[in-house]
A and B are shown apart, each in its own frame.
Chain A
Amino acid sequence: MTSTIRSSTSYRVRRQAATTRWVVRGLGLIGLALLVWRVVTVGLAESYPLSFWISQALNGLVLGGVYALVALGYTLVYGILLMINFAHGEVMMIGAFTGVFALQFFTALGWMSGPTTMVVLALLLIAAAGMLGSIVTGVTLERVAYRPLRGAPRLVPLISAIGASLFLQYSVLLVFGVSPRTYTRPPLLEGGFRVGDVFVPYTGVIIFVLSLLLMLALYLIVQRTKLGKAMRAVAEDKGTAALMGIDVDRVIVFTFILSAALAGAAGVMLGFHNTVVKFNSGFVPGLKAFTAAVLGGIGNIPGAMVGALLLGLIEAIGPSALGIPTEYKDIIAFSVLVIVLIFRPSGLLGEVVSEKKA
């Protein structure tokens, strides 16, 4: 620190920074090399059959599809408000709860045991209910906990979001009780099919296909519609967008609606896939999706998709490939995140927003 104020040393400081950058990159490379070496010597040496790798990859893709839908919610809100919506996982959880009540309702009506068209219709309505539940939560959240904080220092909305996250979790615990809710799958969704040695559950296929479709829909909304254009404008510069006659508040609400709808769909799909919903079942997927969004470059829509699919794959394949217990899957996921960020400090695809400051 002794010489930092003399301006003649500025050059040296800069050179030092450059050196450090290469040292850090070197460390990253070493880490990467270690991972690859471990995969080659241990993981592949354990001689799992090919079908094992394929089915793990499928698990990963399904997981990644769900993460992607949630991660898009983080990314959309971040892109526009530059805030981490920490309560987004809970928005998804409430969607899943709404979905399970809708399911119980349709079961009571007898639709779930009816003809196939009836079941499909009921499933669509359940998904719609879940999305609606999430949307109501998301919009209320924005109105009550985030809107009054616009323009406050960046950490303030984050703390508010953390508070909201806890509040939603424990309110659900108080209102609906502690017992988990069960998604009883209709026979239509039960089971799966077999390709060689690989078992593919129907719910997995549906989740993957539907999440791709929803992502495509989102992409079209953002790129092709007028509101999407307004969203992009607001993300670029709120003040100028307002001067151009864009109702910033409305655009923000619309963003929350979009992100909550995706989360609600993810919640219902995850419900049918894993069958159990609890007051805290949004937290872990929320955290993972947030990681995925950062991995891909937060604020960047294709980035969230890529990041989420990658994270899902890493979580599913990583432990086996490295030959270590599955308990370490989160460690692997976070290590990959660190290594990626060393080489690309703003995520895989995230150049656009990274330089922007709040």
Chain B
Amino acid sequence: MRLRSFQRGLRIGAIAFAILTYLILIGLPTRLGVVAMPVLALLTALIFWVALRGGKSKQALAYRAPAPLLLTGATAGLVAGLLTAALIAGFARLLAAGVNVQPYLDKIVPMNIAALYGVMPGAVVTGDLPAWSWLWQAILLTLAGIVGVLLVLSERALRQRTWSTGGTLRWLTILLPFILLTFVIWLGNPDVTLGGNNRGTLRLLAAMAAIGSALFALRAARPGREQRVLALLLLLGLAYLPFTLDQFQNSVMGIVFIFVMMGLGLNIVVGFAGLLDLGYVAFFAIGAYVYAFLSAPFASPAFSALLTSLGIPADGPLISFWAAIPITMLTAGLGGVLLGIPVLRLRGDYLAIVTLGFGEIIRLFMLNMSDLTNGPRGLLNVAPPYLFGYSLGNPRDIFILALLGAGVIAFAAYRLDGSRLGRAWIAMREDEDVAQATGVNLVQTKLLAFAIGALFAGLAGQLYAARQTNIFPDNFTLFVSVDTLSLVIVGGMGSIPGVVLGALALKGLPEVLRGIDEYRIVTFAALLVVMMIVRPEGILPSTRRRRELHDIGGPASESAALEPALPSDYRTLDGGKP
């Protein structure tokens, strides 16, 4: 038993060391400054906590007796500490010897290493480091190991007590959006100095959290009058948001809700009908470009020449934003049908690559057909929407329009979900052959899924073009499709509130994370992977999907709903049973 604990400690220590090495290599200490080592130790303590508790279930926690746990934790900490100290000392030696490490490892500069020792960069260059400094790192990380153990033990103590907070928690969940909304409004007061230079970002995060928590609140409310009243109040709050947020926050919210529109459309194709579409950006692009042609015909050489030859003046918008809506949507829908026809017989991953190709083809056409699309230099001066001569081009109005658009699409999707067509989609998603045998017209059903999904993306594209007022082929890369698909899945496939939450998380959070600019993408990517491991059904899964996973999870219990269909060998860091 003791040997086992020791071995486990060695392994956890090695894993922690690998993560620490990564953090040092990407230059985190340089950012942190003198507190680098304590902060890293704190992070390591959290890693130890996760690693030591093993699995997520109560059983895994209950297994661990305090003494072996302490042995494991201390060993892990000591191992990580000694290895890290050796690594840093090695780098410091190299730098002191005047070796330029940077051409090989970009972030290993004196500043980085000095931060880990808590000294000035000059000391590293001259090799003037305290002799016993390795002890400092080893002790800190061993402490981290012990803190990790304490965290596990205290968590267990907390868990073993029975909590009867159901009612309070429910009310807290319902109240949270209102508390956050009040916070947002209070932060908007110019006298408030909370958050300093980052006040705007803090407020953005709070506003996003308010919308997100509103979705949870709706779910927590009892169906019936309670839910209806709450929905009404929350809608009022949401409607007030654009008027209290500032330009930056509104512009981020605008893009978030444009992606909600996209996500809702893709949700129909992927979530309802089960057709994996990786080229969804194509319809977004079609919507944007069609609106750009209609509102700024002068930007496109070929199109303006055509109009002029027909005797139509091409120096201003042809039709208004509102009149353009049916045209862009229908064009995009037609695109959906055109894509749908050749892929009718394809399944699963074949479909994925063909749709991906379709998306790329549309982008490459926009890039290369310079006469029509002005190539990489894009179409400039697209008109914003106008209402009674008043321009709706500012971020606030675009946010409102995106909210309205998302609302309309959400309603349509909700109705479709319960309709006969919706049930046909589900039947098709579950098994095409059986669906066909029971009389579902696969051709019609599939084409309708593509077409309706495309209609919504076209609308989103039009709004996007009106928001940007300049569009370039680079705005329509594969990554837009990938982002949209990710937000649908992160939110919970087939779930309409899930899409909103997914868009907030995937398009909104990166803007909040702007402060850590160069670490933005790795953070996002790591979160994506962790999210899939911890909660593969999405943050807010649809009831149907939750029930499906519930059934797979075995006997109905509260924890089974939380732990989706994961195999029993799920233990990320720990590996074996104790």
Q: Hey, which bits of chain A sit against chain B, CB under 8 A?
A: 1, 4-7, 9-10, 13-14, 16-17, 20-21, 23-24, 27-28, 78, 84, 101, 144-145, 147-157, 159-160, 162-167, 170-171, 174-178, 249, 287, 290-291, 294, 298, 325, 327-328, 330-331, 333-335, 337-338, 341-342, 345-347, 354, 358
Contact = CB atoms under 8 A, between A and B. Distances in A.
Contact of B566 (A151, A165, A330): A151
Contact of B489 (A7, A155, A327, A341): A155
A1 B424 contact: yes
A157 B532 contact: yes
B424 A4 contact: yes
A176 B526 contact: no
11 contacts: A10-B436, A145-B532, A148-B566, A153-B493, A155-B489, A159-B532, A171-B22, A177-B103, A249-B569, A291-B357, A331-B365
Contacts of B350: 294, 298, 341, 345-347, 354
A328 B369 CA distance: 10
A62 B529 CA distance: 35
A164 B486 CA distance: 13
A99 to B, nearest CB: 14
A183 to B, nearest CB: 15
Contacts of A167: 522, 525-526, 529
Contacts of A294: 349-350, 353
B107 A159 contact: no
B345 interface: yes
Nearest to A84: B349
Contact of B529 (A145, A174, A331, A337): A145
Most buried by A among B438, B490, B518, B533: B533
Contacts of B444: 1
Nearest to B528: A163
Given A10-B437, A21-B345, A327 B529 contact: no
B26 A341 contact: no
B354 interface: yes
B519 A174 contact: yes
Nearest to A174: B26
Contact of A166 (B27, B360, B438, B521): B521
Most A CB contacts (10 A, CB to CB) among B439, B482, B485, B565 go to B439
A148 B443 contact: no
Interface of B: 22, 25-27, 102-107, 270, 276, 341-350, 352-354, 356-358, 360-361, 364-365, 367-368, 420-421, 424, 436-445, 478, 482, 485-486, 489-490, 493, 518-519, 521-522, 524-529, 532-533, 536-537, 564-567, 569-570, 572
Contacts of B519: 174
- Where chain B touches its partner, the secondary structure class is helix
Nearest to B276: A155
A150 B439 contact: no
Contact of B104 (A27, A176, A334, A347): A176
A330 B105 contact: no
A16 B533 contact: no
B529 A84 contact: no
Given A16-B443, A342-B342, A162 B572 contact: no
A337 B360 contact: no
A165 B479 CA distance: 12
Output the residue of A5, A14, A20, A101 with the most chain B CB within 10 A: A20
Contacts of B424: 1, 4
B551 to A, nearest CB: 13
B437 A160 contact: no
Contacts of A291: 353, 357
B436 A13 contact: yes
B104 A148 contact: no
Given A174-B522, A335-B361, A159 B486 contact: yes
Given A164-B525, A177-B106, A338-B342, A152 B565 contact: yes
A84 B357 contact: no
A150 B564 CA distance: 12
Contacts of B527: 163
A345 B345 contact: yes
B525 A334 contact: no
Top 6 A-B pairs ranked by shortest CB distance? A177-B106, A163-B528, A334-B357, A167-B525, A166-B525, A160-B532
B441 A159 contact: no
**Which of A334, A337, A347 has the most C-beta atoms of chain B within 10 angstroms of its own C-beta?**
A334
A294 B350 CA distance: 6
Contacts of B565: 151-153
A5 B522 CA distance: 50
B107 A175 contact: yes
B349 A1 contact: no
Nearest to B486: A159
A159 B534 CA distance: 13
A308 B452 CA distance: 35
Given A1-B421, A171-B22, A171-B26, A27 B341 contact: yes
Contacts of A330: 360-361, 364
A73 B116 CA distance: 40
Contacts of A10: 436-439
Most B C-beta atoms less than 10 A away, residue of A17, A21, A174: A174
Nearest to B440: A4
Contacts of A152: 532, 536, 564-566
Contacts of A145: 529, 532-533
Given A149-B533, A176-B106, A177-B102, A9 B361 contact: no
B480 to A, nearest CB: 13
A194 to B, nearest CB: 34
A261 B343 CA distance: 34
A331 B363 CA distance: 10
A333 B105 CA distance: 38
A144 B533 CA distance: 9
Contact of A159 (B439, B442, B489): B489
Contacts of B26: 171, 174-175
Contacts of B346: 341, 345
